[in-house]
Amino acid sequence: MRLSTQQGAALVVSLIMLVLITLMVITALNLGTSNFRAVSNSQFRDEAIAAANVAIEDRLSSTFDQTPDANGNLPTVPFDVDLNNDRTNDYRVEVTPTCISASRDTSARPSSVELPREMTVPSTWNTVWDITARVTNAATGASVVIRSGARVLLPEVDRNRACP
């Protein structure tokens, strides 16, 4: 029977290989986590933009008869938006419309088509608005500011109050 002495080279090589494989696995996990975070952030941003668009459309469908503040902004209206219909508000949107300009609507009314333009007195105004929507979500940390322009046809009474 022959006794052989081992120097431990196989043990050292296997430990080095084990460390290298462990480093590769950790790097792969970090890359996967980073990609997941990037995709999640993109999804949260897109959802916040969708919530802002929902709130802007809702604001445009309501009246523009409030009195503006000193800066010409109508009161900020908060909207709670539930995007996934689970009856839990996902995003908080604050919508602030600002009147940019107003001009008298010069198109003739159907009842005044046969009258000359000088004899018609339109009582509606074309108003141009800058609408700012600030979106926040405390759970995800998503925060977006969206600006949109819109033209709103207002009666003279509302135009005088909201867009002086």
| Each residue's pLDDT tens digit, 98-143 | 888 888 877 655 555 555 555 555 578 888 999 999 998 878 888 8
- For the chain, the domains span 9-162
Instruction: Tally Cβ neighbours within 10 Å of residue 75.
Output: 11
| Mean pLDDT value across residues 35-50 | 88
Class of residue 90 by CB neighbours under 10 A (exposed 0-12, middle 13-18, buried 19+):
buried
- Which one, of 151, 133, 141, 163, lies nearest residue 66 by Cα? 163
User: In angstroms, rounded to a whole number, what is the distance separating the alpha carbons of residues 37 and 33?
Assistant: 6
Q: pTM to 2 decimals?
A: 0.69
Q: What is the pLDDT of residue 25?
A: 94
